[in-house]
Every structure is written in C-alpha cells, then in structure tokens.
Amino acid sequence: MGFRKKNKAPEIDLVAEFMKLPASDNTMFLSSPSSISEVIEKIWNEWSIGTKNSPEQIISQEWNKIVGTKLSSRCAPEKLSSNGTLYLRAANGPVKQELSFIKKKIISRISRLDGCTFVKDIKIT
C-alpha cells in the first residue's frame, strides 16, 4: 500500500473529492479564473465591438452635411430599417415639404457614406 501524494493546496483535494475526480486530475486548477472585466475586454477585442460605427451612427454624425445646417436643427433621422428605408422626424409641415423636395439629394448623399449604400428610400413623419 502506497501513500497518496499530498498536493500543496488542500482545496484541490477537497474539490476533487467532492466532484468525484481522481486526485491526480489537476487540470481544472492550472489557471486562475479571469475577472468579468477581463472576459468582456477580450470579447470586445475579438469581435471588434465598438470599433466600427453603425450606419445609424454614421448618418447621425454627418446629418448637418447631409441636409444642411438650416434643416438639421428641424429634422432628424429616427430609424433605419433593414430594407433600406430611412425614417425621418420633421418639426412641422413646411420642413416635411422641404425634405420631400430634396429627398433624392439626401439619398444620394447618404449612399456616398461608408456603410450606407443600402439606403434606398426615405419616409418623413
């Protein structure tokens, strides 16, 4: 009968015994657990989260250039559908009418933006 070799950390033996693992199986204890912030940071970097702007962000950032400074304070992009329709919110009737007059120009300017070529229509509310 041989003596069982004692591990340096008694908690390893305790967990192994509780989980019905052989005492020599220390593989689950080779690395210490990561903090949640380390895991999140790793995933953000691997998936490139936060590095690319969405089409909505790009349109919002460039809104002054797209419709001009006069109109940009009286209307705003509300949502962008997956079928390429951009919904705009206008302050009043005259602004809606002005936007409808320059609708093709707005679509043309948006389609020149990086990642926004799929925008094909505008609905004004």
**Residue 76: which domain range?**
55-124
* Whole-number pLDDT of residue 4: 52
| 116, 81: one domain | yes
First to last CA, the chain: 85
Average pLDDT over residues 69-92: 94
pLDDT averaged over the chain? Answer: 84
| 61, 119: one domain | yes
| 72, 17: one domain | no
Residue 95, domain CATH: 3.30.300
* Whole-number pLDDT of residue 1: 45
| 16, 73: one domain | no
Query: Is the pLDDT score of 14 beyond 80?
Result: no
| 59, 118: one domain | yes
| 64, 103: one domain | yes
* Whole-number pLDDT of residue 70: 92
* Whole-number pLDDT of residue 118: 92
* pLDDT band for position 2 (cuts 50, 70, 90): very low
| 29, 69: one domain | no
* Any domain includes 1: no
| Amino acid of residue 104 | K
Reported as a single tens digit per residue, the pLDDT across 21-72 is 766 555 555 667 788 888 888 887 777 666 678 899 899 999 999 999 999 9
| 42, 92: one domain | no
